[in-house]
A and B are shown apart, each in its own frame.
Chain A
Amino acid sequence: MTEQDILSGLTRILRDLLSDDSIVLTMETKRDEVANWDSFAYVNFIVAVESEFGVKFRVAEVESFENVGAIVRRIGIILSTR
């Protein structure tokens, strides 16, 4: 799975979660740049991402992802070390 695949997967999840098909995520997107992506929606997002990709983030990671790219890279690493 390429980083682009993961990124489009995350985009789809966030669109579904917030019912907003206009959302476009890039590797640089930060949470405060997306409307309604508040801390509660962030927890739900992480839960959905974990279940759709079959991964589990560490608590420290969940609290410190600086942008979408960081999440994409982390998923990439977890999947590649399987």
Chain B
Amino acid sequence: MIDWLPFPQDFRSCLRLAVESSSDRLEKLASLAQHRLSFLETIQLDRAVGPAWAESPQGFSTIRLALLSSATVDHLIPAIRVAGLRRRLLFDVHIGPYGQYRQQLLEAESPLHRLHPQVILLSLAAREAIAGVPLTATSAEADAAIGRAIDELRMLWRKARETFHATVIQQTFINIADPLFGSYDRLVAGAPIRLIAHLNERMSDAAAEDGVLVLDIARASERDGLDAWFDMTRWLQAKMEIAPHAAPHYGDFLARVVAAQLGLSKKCLVLDLDNTLWGGVIGDDGPEGIILGEGTGAGEAYLALQRYAKQLRERGVILAICSKNNSATAEAVFRDHPEMLLKLTDIAAFVANWEDKADNLRRIAEQLNIGIDSLVFVDDNPAERARIRQSLPMVAVPELPADAAQYVRCLADAGYFESVAFTADDSLRGEQYSANASREAFLNTSQTMDDYLNGLGMSVSFGPFNNVDLPRIVQLIGKTNQFNPTTRRHSPEDVATLVATDRCITLQFRLLDRFGDNGLVSVMILVPDPQSPDLVEIDTWVMSCRVFGRQLEKEAMNIAVETARRMGVRAFRADYIPTPKNGVIKELYPTLGFELAQEAAPDDGATRWYLYLPDYVPFSTHIVRKQE
């Protein structure tokens, strides 16, 4: 079911090799996790990894996960950990005693308290929630029963957040009920099939309202068929609600939601052209010869992928092209072919040449100023795929099926672009990247950098956090890896708590220029030091990579200093905690005039910086202010 991953070549000897290697054992095991492993292979790999999280290895993040269930879930743990490893996440998994999820959450002395879970997953079975609703229930009675089940869930969610400050994920209910009437079940208020369907809908509404995330196993079971996810024999034998052979898939579903919350989802879809976006080879067949467009099944299959890519762009995924072609020939198809759905303006980076695709992918990431590990590379050619997997293992490369009709399904199944929010900024991202192309063109005609920045006509609008922008603020904090000195992630509740803290300063910045609105691109949270009232700590400061090099960090600091001065603050304290991704702002604080207070700590290399506000001289920038 994890069909987008390639089969391992000789799993047994790869595993042995990894286990016996002393230096890069975990790296080798992580690369094995990138494969389509069977149930048994998954268990073997998981055992070889062992409690790796206990050593907090470099380049991996540990996540403490509590899995609270009304059924047996032990058999899912290896797959969850392997799917985490696939994303460089090491799950420290805690499962409660069978069926005791309420006690775990509600009792003050439960073992859950010792774990301090960062993520709490509620994996519950529908049969419990709908038990006791008679078949003869009226619509109102059925609604009331579902309402009671939802109220209990909300109470558990609230408890999980208040007590543990954890991210809560609620699993949707697999509809395992068998029909009693047949199709007519859908029309009977008290019929189990209908009750479970309603339960899922009401639960999703409540989750959206409460800011709880959902693990949509119900949809997965519709996609793969009930038998793929629920096995009556295993239920009777061991009270497993999720069939063991679905475990690898289940693990991946969960890991992608957790990864999305950590800002680790992919950001950019890179597409090949020949036999990927159209049938045939444009260089050989010419614009009249390629297979694309309405009228034939094959032509529509390629259109389907284009349509899907366009939909992904609308929800904030960046599109790029990487193809072995003459640039002019390839671009002409986008410009002139009447059946093309994708237009040049949809593509944020267009690379068509005869060079190595790995080099070209590096170039695309650089041009878009995103990490190379945020790319997904879609290519019909198995040799190109293997080459990229080998030289750029951090790039996701789906094992595309041979039939173009299945391209979209494969890409969708892989779940690379899993999200935990959808904001106005997401839907504008495509245009913002297109505007960046215009900015680039303008940059090339500018004599100096100063001319360029001046000519952009930039203005910043700013203000404290507000409820309208809160989802985007939380999203930006969650997703930003480069301009992020502390890489502290804050849930919506954390942000709300910080905002409510006395004398806490929150600032959000939106950058506009003559080419358009870049959206809400930077966020700052300044928290007063409890010991000294005139000292404030930069708890969080993130900035979107889209606006690097535009002096916004300087103008933002000017604004932060002014705001803080008005409140009588005399100094800022800031930590820089290096990660593999935030090297780009290594010099941020010294550049802004901060002084080093503490040498690099031996463990994580963190440095501490101070800025004395009375000495601060505002930077002059090309950004005009527009107060909100």
Is A52 in contact with B233, judged by CB distance below 8 angstroms? no
Q: How many residues of B contact A (CB 8 A)?
A: 17
Q: Once the chains are docked, how many angstroms separate the CA of A57 from the CA of B245?
A: 15
Q: Once the chains are docked, how many angstroms separate the CA of A47 from the CA of B40?
A: 9
B213 CB within 8 Å of chain A: no
Is A43 in contact with B40, judged by CB distance below 8 angstroms? no
- Which residues of B does A touch, CB under 8 Å? 38-40, 43-44, 47, 74-75, 232-234, 236-238, 240, 244-245
Chain A, residue nearest B244 (CB)? A47
Q: Once the chains are docked, how many angstroms separate the CA of A50 from the CA of B149?
A: 37
Is B47 in contact with A19, judged by CB distance below 8 angstroms? yes
Q: From known contacts A48-B39, A59-B236, infer whether A43 and B245 are also in contact, taking CB-CB under 8 Å.
A: no
Is A40 in contact with B74, judged by CB distance below 8 angstroms? yes
Q: Which of A19, A51, A59 contacts B38 (CB 8 A)?
A: A51
Q: Once the chains are docked, how many angstroms separate the CA of A47 from the CA of B248?
A: 13
Q: Once the chains are docked, how many angstroms separate the CA of A56 from the CA of B233?
A: 10
A55 CB within 8 Å of chain B: no
Q: Which of A13, A47, A59 has the most CB of B within 10 A?
A: A47
List A contacts of B233 (CB < 8 A): 56-59, 62
Q: Once the chains are docked, how many angstroms separate the CA of A35 from the CA of B269?
A: 49
- Which residues of A does B touch, CB under 8 Å? 13, 16-17, 19, 40, 43-44, 46-48, 51-52, 56-59, 62-63
Q: From known contacts A16-B40, A48-B40, A59-B233, infer whether A43 and B47 are also in contact, taking CB-CB under 8 Å.
A: no
Summed over the interface, the residue pairs from A and B with CB atoms below 8 Å come to a total of: 46
Q: Once the chains are docked, how many angstroms separate the CA of A44 from the CA of B77?
A: 12
Is A47 in contact with B236, judged by CB distance below 8 angstroms? no
List B contacts of A40 (CB < 8 A): 74-75
Is B38 in contact with A43, judged by CB distance below 8 angstroms? no
Is A13 in contact with B237, judged by CB distance below 8 angstroms? no
Q: Once the chains are docked, how many angstroms separate the CA of A63 from the CA of B40?
A: 21
Chain B's interface: helix, strand, loop or mixed, by majority? helix
Chain A's interface: helix, strand, loop or mixed, by majority? helix
Q: Once the chains are docked, how many angstroms separate the CA of A47 from the CA of B234?
A: 9
Q: Once the chains are docked, how many angstroms separate the CA of A58 from the CA of B245?
A: 16
Q: Which of A13, A43, A57, A63 contacts B75 (CB 8 A)?
A: A43
List A contacts of B236 (CB < 8 A): 59
Is B40 in contact with A62, judged by CB distance below 8 angstroms? no
Q: Once the chains are docked, how many angstroms separate the CA of A18 from the CA of B47?
A: 9
Closest 9 CB pairs of A and B: A48-B40, A47-B244, A59-B233, A43-B238, A59-B236, A19-B47, A62-B237, A16-B44, A16-B40
List B contacts of A47 (CB < 8 A): 39, 75, 234, 244-245
Is B44 in contact with A19, judged by CB distance below 8 angstroms? yes
Nearest-Cβ distance from residue A15 to partner chain B, whole angstroms: 10
Is A43 in contact with B39, judged by CB distance below 8 angstroms? no
Q: From known contacts A16-B44, A51-B39, A52-B40, infer whether A44 and B244 are also in contact, taking CB-CB under 8 Å.
A: yes
